[in-house]
Amino acid sequence: MNNRTILFCAVAAMLSVSCGEKPYGAIPTPQQLEWQDMEMNMFCHFGPNTFTGREWGDGTEPEDIFNPTELDCRQWARTAKAAGFKGIIITAKHHDGFCLWPNPAAQHTVAQSSWRGGEGDVLRELSDACREEGLKFGIYISPWDRNDPHYGTPEYNEVFAQTLSNALSSYGPVFEQWFDGACGEGPNGRRQEYDWELFHEAVFSNQPQAVVFSNVGPGCRWVGNEEGSTGETCWATFTPSLYGATHEQLPGDYGTYLNQGDAGGEYWIPAETDVSIRPGWFWKESETARLKSVDELLKIYYESVGRNSLLLLNVPPDNRGLIPRADSIRLMEFRAALDRIFSSDLGTGAQMRRTRDSWTLTLRESASFNRVVLSERIALGQRISEFNVEALVGGEWKEIARGTTIGRKRILLVEDTEASAVRVNVTGSLARPLLKGVSIYYDDVYRAAERVRSGGDVHPAGESIVLDLGAVRDVAGIQYTPIYRGEGGVITSFRLEISDNGSDWALVKEDIFQNIVNNPVRCEVPFQARGRYIKLTPTATSNGESYGLSSFEVLL
Ligand code: FUL
C-alpha cells in the first residue's frame, strides 16, 4: 500500500463511522470545527488604558503613556499554556486608536512612542511567544477609532483596511480576527458607514483560514453579554437577517437572540463568550482584590463551554507588561479544579447501546456522579432540540435532567447520583439525532452560590441584607465581597441569622472579618445550617457610616 492508499482507507473508515449520514442544514467549516475544539482562549486587553486606568480611552492620550517597563509576552504565553488555553487574542488597537505595532497606516502607534526608542512591537513579541508555546495567535482590532482624523469619512474605510492588511500580513498565521461592535459616539458624534466587504477582503486575502468574530460572524458571533453566560438553549446556527442585521450592526435588544442562536438557522455562526477575570477589561491596580473566584470561573465554564460556546477569558497584563501574580495564581487554581473534575470519566469502559432515539450507557459498576457531559456530532449539523437524562438508581429509571440543545458540548449539573446506567432520550430533533458521546464526572469543587445584588451597592451601616433561597435548603456558608467602586466602608464585624419563614430567626454566627480593612477581598464564612432566608447584619463598619457590597453569596 502506498501512502495515498493508506490515507484513502483511513478516510473511508472515518466516514463509515458516520453511518452514511448526510449533513443537515448549515454545517461548520473545518476551521470553525477546529476553533470550537479550542474550548478556551485567553484575551489580553493591553494599551494606553493600562496606564490611565480607563476602560475607553478617548484617543488624546500621548503615545509616551504606553510604557511597559518589563514587557514579557513569553510570560503571558507560558501562563496561558499552563492554564490550558489554546490561543491568545490581543487588543492590537482598542477604541483609542493606539496601535501596539508600528502600523504604517497610522500616526498613533508604538513607533511614535519613546517606549524602546520607538522600536518596540508587542504583536511581534506575542506572536513569537505563541509560536514557541504552541498557542494560536489572534488579533482584536476595533473599527471604532477615537483618534484617527479620518474616522467618520469614507477615507477611514481605506485606512482601516490598510491597518487590517498590515497587522494580518506581518505576524504569521492568525486564527481569529476580532471585530468589536462597540461605538460610543452618541447622537452628535461622528458616524462611520463601514465597508465590510473591503474589510473582509483585507482579512481573507491575508488570512484565508481566520475565523472572523463580530456580532454576526461570519466565523463566530458575540454571545450578547459580557458576563460569561451563554443561553441554556444555544444553537451554533444563526440567521442574522431575521433581526434586520447588516454585518456587525444589529438593531434593538439583540442580547437574547445572540445568546441562543436560531434552531435550523441559515448559517453556522457559533457563539463565543467573552468575559474578564476582573471587573474591567483593562488592568487596574484597584481591581486586584476583585478577581473572580474559582467558583465564579467554574460557573462561567459551565455556562459557556458547557453550553456549546467557546470561552474567551480576558486576563489583562499590568503596567509592567506582565500578567500579575494574583491573576496567574487564580488561573492555576481554576486549571487544577478543571483537571480534578474532568480528568477521570467515571463511565470509562461502559457499554453504549442505541435504540431509536435513546442511548444507554451501562456502567461496569455503579458510580456516583453529578455532572453529565453530552456531545453531538456537529460536523453533520446541530440537530437535537430537546432531551432528557435518566439514571438507573436501585433498579428504577429516574429522570435527573432535561434540556434543549446539546451541540459540541453540553455539561449538565445534576444532583449527586449513584447509578448503574445512564440513559439519554432525545425527544426533539430537527433531523435524525446523532449523539457522539456521554460521559459522567464527579465535581467536589464547585459550590453553586446564590448571589444577591451582583451589581453592588453602598448601604447604611446598620442595614441588614437578606437572601431568599426560594426553599428550605442546606447552607454551607456565605461569602462577602466588600468595596463597591471604592465607595463606602467595609463590614468589620457581623451577625448571621437563618430562618425558614423570614420572621423567626436563629443565630448562626457572630464574628469579625479578619484583616478586612487592609485587605478588602472576598471573605468566606463556612458553617452548616438549614433554612430558606439568610440575614447578614453588620455590627460594625470601618467608617461607622456605611458599607460597600460588591456581592453577598450563599454557598450551598
Ligand atoms: C467591548 C469594548 O467596548 C470593551 O472595551 C472590551 O474591549 C470588550 C471586549 O468589548 O465592546
What is the tens place of the pLDDT at every residue in 179-190?
Answer: 998 888 877 899
| Residue 135 neighbours by CB under 8 Å, 6+ apart | 77, 80, 81, 85, 86, 87, 88
Q: Look at 23-32, 119-128, 448-457 and tell me which has the smallest mean pLDDT.
A: 448-457
CA 33, distance to chain mean position in Å, is: 18
What's residue 482's pLDDT? 84
CA of 212 to the centre of ligand 1 (A): 16
Please name the amino acid found at residue 423: R
Q: Over 133-183, what HEC string results?
A: HCCEEEEEECCCCCCCCCCCCCHHHHHHHHHHHHHHHHCCCCCEEEECCCC
Q: Is the CB of 280 under 6 A from ligand 1?
A: no
Average pLDDT of span 282-292: 90
Instruction: Note whether 121 and 115 are within 8 A (CB).
Output: no
Q: Is the CB of 96 under 6 A from ligand 1?
A: no
pLDDT of 551 strictly over 90: no
What's residue 454's pLDDT? 44
CA of 183 to the centre of ligand 1 (A): 9
CA of 553 to the centre of ligand 1 (A): 27
What's residue 182's pLDDT? 86
Residue corresponding to grid cell 473572580? 292
pLDDT of 193 strictly over 80: yes
Average pLDDT of span 318-345: 97
Q: Whose C-alpha lies nearest to ligand 1, atom 1? A: 182
Q: Is the CB of 274 under 6 A from ligand 1?
A: yes
Q: Whose C-alpha lies nearest to ligand 1, atom 3? A: 182
| Ligand 1 atom nearest to CA at 45 | 7
Instruction: Note whether 536 and 464 are within 8 A (CB).
Output: yes
Among the listed residues 421, 420, 416, 407, the one whose alpha carbon sits nearest the alpha carbon of residue 444: 416
Strand pairing of 435-441 and 410-429? unpaired
3-state secondary structure of 547: strand
Classify residue 1 by burial, with Cβ atoms within 10 Å: 0-12, 13-18, 19+.
Answer: exposed
CA of 230 to the centre of ligand 1 (A): 17
Instruction: Note whether 21 and 383 are within 8 A (CB).
Output: no
Confidence of residue 550 (pLDDT cuts 50, 70, 90): confident
What is the tens place of the pLDDT at every residue in 112-151?
Answer: 999 999 999 999 999 999 999 999 999 999 999 999 999 9
Percent of the chain surpassing pLDDT 90:
78
Separation of alpha carbons 254 and 182, rounded Å = 13
For a mutational test of ligand 1's pocket, the pick from 139, 226, 282, i.e. the residue with the most ligand atoms closer than 8 A to its C-beta, is 226
Phi/psi-derived region of residue 192, left when phi > 0, alpha when psi is between -120 and 50, beta in every other case? beta
**In the 8-state DSSP scheme, what is residue 452?**
E
Q: Is the CB of 182 under 6 A from ligand 1?
A: yes
Separation of alpha carbons 143 and 192, rounded Å = 9
CA of 284 to the centre of ligand 1 (A): 16
What's residue 471's pLDDT? 87
Residue corresponding to grid cell 426533539? 428
Instruction: Note whether 108 and 59 are within 8 A (CB).
Output: yes
What is the tens place of the pLDDT at every residue in 34-52?
Answer: 999 999 999 999 999 999 9
What's residue 38's pLDDT? 98
For a mutational test of ligand 1's pocket, the pick from 41, 180, 220, 223, i.e. the residue with the most ligand atoms closer than 8 A to its C-beta, is 180
CA 526, distance to chain mean position in Å, is: 28
pLDDT of 455 strictly over 60: no
Q: How far apart are the two ends of the chain, measured CA to CA in Å?
A: 61
Average pLDDT of span 371-378: 98
Q: Look at 47-61, 137-151, 156-170, 511-525 and tell me which has the smallest mean pLDDT.
A: 511-525
Q: Look at 56-65, 229-238, 542-551 and tell me which has the smallest mean pLDDT.
A: 542-551
CA of 87 to the centre of ligand 1 (A): 19
Strand pairing of 546-549 and 176-179? unpaired
Q: Is the CB of 272 under 6 A from ligand 1?
A: no
Q: Whose C-alpha lies nearest to ligand 1, atom 10? A: 180
What's residue 488's pLDDT? 83
Mean pLDDT of the chain: 92
| Residue 129 neighbours by CB under 8 Å, 6+ apart | 73, 74, 76, 77
Q: Enter the C-alpha cell of residue 11.
A: 478516510
Confidence of residue 156 (pLDDT cuts 50, 70, 90): very high
Instruction: Note whether 88 and 80 are within 8 A (CB).
Output: yes
**pTM assigned to the model:** 0.84
Separation of alpha carbons 398 and 389, rounded Å = 8
**How far is CA 350 from each of CA 387, 431, 438, rounded to the nearest angstrom?**
21, 27, 10
What's residue 247's pLDDT? 66
pLDDT of 449 strictly over 80: no
Confidence of residue 485 (pLDDT cuts 50, 70, 90): low
pLDDT of 101 strictly over 80: yes
Confidence of residue 9 (pLDDT cuts 50, 70, 90): very low
pLDDT of 416 strictly over 60: yes
Percent of the chain surpassing pLDDT 70:
93
What's residue 19's pLDDT? 57
What's residue 450's pLDDT? 61
Instruction: Note whether 345 and 305 are within 8 A (CB).
Output: no
What is the tens place of the pLDDT at every residue in 253-281?
Answer: 677 789 999 999 999 999 999 999 998 99
CA of 123 to the centre of ligand 1 (A): 19
| Ligand 1 atom nearest to CA at 94 | 7
Q: Is the CB of 178 under 6 A from ligand 1?
A: no
Q: Is the CB of 357 under 6 A from ligand 1?
A: no
